[in-house]
Chain A
């Protein structure tokens, strides 16, 4: 059998990884740019009805056709990218920070704090993800602020779990012992010494979490609990196109493809980061 030597295959892995980081950032860059430049890319207003050209097939005037109110689908797709990306990236920040902090504190101090944090993560994780999100958004009332709050309540548990485990194993390492011997405060040890060493895991997890959140937002909007119409959003676009699937299949199909491409680009970035940030 012709197996490449260990170092040779490692090198190949590294090459492929930076490749996935490159494709991921490139893909995302194009999407973000298109979202920002939307008013210059397309001449239409995403909210303007044009009842003379409803459900028009794709043409040179309307690249992806128009919807049941005559709105240009390509335009709405671009404006929806602005909102959905912003929510996805924005909603991950609070859970990332609180989860990392709580996980670090729980892992470092152990004892009662750890018990409390672990109990909370156990209970929240026992609920199916969508059951919790939907019930929270129900109770807070539909809309974007509710989505942010619901994600903040639910999504921190994964970060806390990941960081807690990492800190638990870092606590016994020599560099932490050394910092303790030097009489550094706990806060300094956690923030300056431990966190920089364990942050890779939550950061890469955040990349796939963004995807999960965007899919969650789109799902809530599809159910009528997320972004309220007529604001363009991929979920509500899929929902409103559903009645016309047999004749105008592109109405629901294209926004879904947009979600998948965004998801792929974040996943590629996460995959690339995992291997880029991993110590040799």
Chain B
């Protein structure tokens, strides 16, 4: 049953991934006129433009270029970096760890921040604590992640001896410590969404019949919440994190840049600033695939944890 669900889910991913590839490819060719002009500047000599086009295959028809891009992808070739003249795949290896670590830690932090706030709000629905908690997402939505990062660097990292001011450690304990502030920054960015959804799903769960039963048995409010409510509300929280994964991953881009973490996001921003279109293209695709795969993983885990999730 679970295997069939997994396979069907995998099958449904194929058109999405193909569509994403098309989007990534044509996104770069969006600009009318030739990319060589945009990249080399308006004063580049004609020979340089021709040489550039020949080198990168821009002189060929668009559909041919797309097919060779697709053919390369199938063989694990993401194109060649313009700035470093090495395959994009080579630039990318080793950059996965900081990004995935940052994602995991910020997801954890987001749960740690949201859960108590949502519980307080749900238990005191429409009363002062609830009102206070409901203002937090409103404040949080307008917080630019890079700004939060700059503030944390200046007012926390510079004053706390054991926290590094950006960068990534050489050993695992160092790396984990280096992730604290960036993780917090990304978590603050996602918290408006998780707090809001978790609060409403907790309220919904607390209105369920089995909660009324637990209350009727004479269990205390906190006990009811802990043993019956929260357990059933954690599953929607995982879903909420999954749904907002795109937002979460997007924020890591900017946060990696601010904290000088050698991850995929910082690489993408550097590539954008260096106008290295092949690397931008490759990374956009990697990020898209990352979100699709993590979502698949979350779905499968959820389906195997919760018997109520319909496997059809």
B158 contacts A139, C-beta separation under 8 Å:
no
Chain B residues positioned under 8 Å from A219 (CB to CB): 144-146, 254
A212: which of B20, B141, B273, B291 is its contact (CB, 8 Å)?
Answer: B141
Within 8 A of B (CB), among A126-141: 126-132, 134-136, 138-141
A187 on interface, CB distance cutoff 8 Å: no
A126 contacts B257, C-beta separation under 8 Å:
no
* Chain B binder among A67-75, A117-125, A175-183: A117-125
A131 contacts B27, C-beta separation under 8 Å:
no
A259 contacts B142, C-beta separation under 8 Å:
yes
Majority secondary structure, B binding face:
helix
B126 contacts A128, C-beta separation under 8 Å:
no
Majority secondary structure, A binding face:
helix
A238 contacts B27, C-beta separation under 8 Å:
no
Known: A139-B31, A141-B38, A260-B139. A222 touches B144 (CB 8 A): yes
Closest to B245 in A: A128
Chain A residues positioned under 8 Å from B248 (CB to CB): 128
A119 contacts B19, C-beta separation under 8 Å:
yes
A126 contacts B27, C-beta separation under 8 Å:
no
Instruction: Give the bracket for the number of chain A residues in contact with chain B.
Output: 35 or more
B61 on interface, CB distance cutoff 8 Å: no
Distance of A214 Cα from B144 Cα, bound (Å): 9
Closest to B221 in A: A1
A165 on interface, CB distance cutoff 8 Å: no
Tell which of B142, B155, B277 has the most Cβ of chain A within 10 Å.
B142
B179 on interface, CB distance cutoff 8 Å: no
* Chain A binder among B88-96, B110-118, B280-288: B280-288
Chain A residues positioned under 8 Å from B24 (CB to CB): 135
Chain A residues positioned under 8 Å from B144 (CB to CB): 215, 218-219, 222, 235, 238, 256, 259
B257: which of A125, A218, A223, A253 is its contact (CB, 8 Å)?
Answer: A223
B269 contacts A223, C-beta separation under 8 Å:
yes
A16 contacts B131, C-beta separation under 8 Å:
yes
Cβ distance A247 to chain B, nearest Cβ, rounded Å: 11
Distance of A24 Cα from B29 Cα, bound (Å): 42
Known: A242-B150, A246-B158, A252-B150. A122 touches B16 (CB 8 A): yes
Within 8 A of B (CB), among A209-252: 211-212, 214-215, 218-219, 222-225, 235, 238, 242, 245-246, 249, 252
- Chain A 197-219 near chain B by CB (<8 Å), digits 1 or 0: 00000000000100110110011
Chain A residues positioned under 8 Å from B20 (CB to CB): 123, 126-127
Cβ distance B110 to chain A, nearest Cβ, rounded Å: 15
B143 contacts A134, C-beta separation under 8 Å:
no
Tell which of B145, B154, B248, B250 has the most Cβ of chain A within 10 Å.
B250
Cβ contacts A to B, 7 pairs, < 8 Å: A128-B253, A129-B250, A139-B28, A223-B254, A253-B151, A259-B147, A264-B138
Question: Which 7 A-B residue pairs are closest in the complex by CB-CB distance?
Answer: A263-B142, A130-B250, A267-B138, A128-B250, A256-B147, A123-B19, A128-B249
